[in-house]
């Protein structure tokens, strides 16, 4: 918290010393709100972009592992389908 007070106090001081006008200091203060929102949005988008690039790099570098996982998933799905079909046949034979 103290860092922000010092930082903004220093910023206001620079604007005041360069313009000597309360009007420009007020305009600078009002402009801080949208610029903060833009910076937060930009930071959030950069984080999403980095996650996307990280996923793509893992996918391209470990492509064989990804395909192996897909094949194992398909094998599990086939096993479950066969087990379901066998169960349905066994239940129908008992009835």
Mean pLDDT, residues 58-86: 90
Measured in whole angstroms, the distance separating CA 87 from the mean position of its chain's CA atoms is: 44
Q: Is a pLDDT exceeding 70 seen at residue 95?
A: no
The model carries a pTM of 0.45
The pLDDT tens digits for 11-60 are 999 999 999 999 999 999 899 888 888 888 988 999 999 998 988 887 77
Cα–Cα dist 21/25, whole Å: 7
Cα–Cα dist 25/17, whole Å: 10
Residue with tokens 């599990």: 76
What's the confidence (pLDDT) of residue 86? 94
- Please report which confidence band the pLDDT of residue 87 belongs to, taking 50, 70 and 90 as the band edges: very high
Residue with tokens 């833009």: 38
């Amino acid at each position: 918290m103290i860092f922000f007070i010092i930082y903004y106090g220093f910023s206001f001081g620079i604007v005041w010393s360069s313009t000597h006008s309360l009007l420009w200091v007020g305009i600078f203060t009002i402009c801080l709100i949208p610029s903060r929102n833009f910076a937060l949005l930009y930071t959030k988008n950069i984080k999403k972009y980095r996650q996307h690039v990280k996923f793509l790099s893992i996918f391209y570098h470990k492509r064989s592992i990804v395909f192996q996982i897909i094949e194992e998933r398909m094998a599990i799905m086939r096993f479950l389908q066969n087990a379901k079909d066998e169960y349905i046949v066994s239940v129908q034979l008992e009835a």
